[in-house]
Structure 1
Amino acid sequence: MSKRSDLLDFALLGLLHEGPAHGYQLRSRLNEALGAFRALSYGTLYPALSGLLDRGLIAQSTATGKPVTAAKSAGRNRIVYEITAAGKETFEDAARRIDTAAYEDDGFGVRLAFFGRTEADVRLRILEGRRSRVEEQLEIVRANSSRSRERLDSWTTALQRHGEESTEREVRWLTELIDAERRHPTDPGPQP
C-alpha cells in the first residue's frame, strides 16, 4: 500500500470518526480541509472506501437506514458510510504512530487536521519533526540562493526570496505551536 493510500485511509477514518457521511460529503471535506486531497477524484475515493469496507473498518447503509442491498432494488438511494469499532481502533493506532510521512508536506497537513484526536506527546513529536524537516529545507534554499543569486534575473531572485521567506514563516509558526503545546499540552489547540 502506498503512503498516499495510507494517508487517504487515515483521513477518511478521521472524517468518519466525526460522524457518518456519504461519498460526496467526504470528497468535499477532503478537498476543503486537507490540501493533500484537493484534486481527489471519485475514481480514487470509492476504491478507498471499498477497501475500508472490505477490512471491516467502515460500514455502509442508505440515508433512509435501509441495508444497501435492499435499497439498490428500490431505486437509487445515497449510501452513507460510518466508522466501525475496528475503524476507530485503527484510526487511533494511526494517530499515535510517528513516522517520516508525518513530517512531509501532505502527511503533516493531514495529521495536523486530526490533532484534536492525537495525544499531546505525539503532537509535540510531530511538530518538532516537521520543524526540523522545514529547517533542513530552509538551509538548502538559502544555500541555493546564495550560489545562484549573481546569475539570476530580478524576477527569479524575487521568487527565490519569496520561497525563503515562506519557509522562514513556517519555521516561526511551528515554533509557536511547539511552544504553545509545551505550555498547555491539554489545550485543544491554537485559537482560530
Structure 2
Amino acid sequence: MLELAILGFLHDEPLHGYELKERITALSGHVRPVSDGALYPAITRLVKAGLLEQHTEPGAGAAPRRILSLTPAGRAALLDRLRAPKPVEITDSTRFFTLLAFLRHLHDPVAQAAVLRRRLDFLEAPASFFYDKGRPVRAKDTEDLFRRGMLRVARATSRAEREWLTEALAELAGRAGSAGP
C-alpha cells in the first residue's frame, strides 16, 4: 500500500520526500507508521521501475531537495492498481481506505463502481472476529464485555460503510448513465 500511496499522492503534484512522507503519515500513519527505512527504498524501486522520476532543487535551508514526480508509466500503473485491486486491498480496511483515497483518479464511474461493489460484497458476507463451531459469534451471543464491545463497534462501522457504499454506487450509476454513448 505504500507504493499505491506514493503513486496516488504524486499523481496530484510533484513532492519532495518529506512532504510525501507527511501526506502518507496523515493518511495511514496512525495505523501503520511510515519509516524512512520503508519509504525511501520504495521510492528507489519505483524510480528504477520507471514509474517515478526525480530531480534536485535548492532546499529552504542548505540541503537540496529531491523532488519526485510521476512518469506516464507511473500514471498507468496507478490506474491499473485502482482498476484491479488485490483481494487484501478490498478486505483490509486500512488498505481499502488507501485505495479509496485515490479512486477519483480512475475517471470511469463503471470501473469505480466495480471496486466499491467488491468491498460491499465483502462486507455483506457473514463474518466475525470470533467463531463458535464454525459460526460467527454476534455481540449479543457473548458474555465477554470486551469482545461484545469489539463486535458492536465493528457492526456499527460496517453498517455505516455499507450505507455509504450503497449511496456511492447509486451516484456512480447515475454518472455512468448520464455519460451516454
For the aligned pair, the TM-score class normalised by the smaller chain equals 0.7 to 0.9
TM-score by length of 1: 0.75
Find the residue that maps to 2:136 and give its secondary structure: helix
Q: What is residue 48 of structure 1 aligned with on the other side?
A: 42
Matched, 1:113 2:101: yes
Q: What is residue 9 of structure 2 aligned with on the other side?
A: 15
Alignment root-mean-square deviation, CA: 2.7
* Identity within the alignment, %: 28
Q: What is residue 136 of structure 2 aligned with on the other side?
A: 143
Q: Is contact 2:21–2:34 with CA below 8 Å preserved after alignment?
A: yes
Q: What is residue 167 of structure 1 aligned with on the other side?
A: 158
Q: Which runs of 5+ in 1 are unaligned?
A: 1-6, 66-74, 188-192
Q: Which runs of 5+ in 2 are unaligned?
A: 129-134
Instruction: Determine the C-alpha separation between the residues in 2 that align with 1:153 and 1:106.
Output: 26
Q: Is contact 2:139–2:152 with CA below 8 Å preserved after alignment?
A: no
Q: What is residue 180 of structure 1 aligned with on the other side?
A: 171
- Give how far 1:18 is off: 0.9
Q: Is contact 1:30–1:37 with CA below 8 Å preserved after alignment?
A: no
Q: Which amino acid aligns with 1:40?
A: V
TM-score by length of 2: 0.79
Deviations 1:105-152 (A, max 9, x none): 23321221112111211111111110111112xx22393026842xx1
Q: Is contact 1:36–1:106 with CA below 8 Å preserved after alignment?
A: no
Deviations 1:138-179 (A, max 9, x none): x22393026842xx1445434422222222222112111111
Q: Is contact 1:56–1:86 with CA below 8 Å preserved after alignment?
A: yes
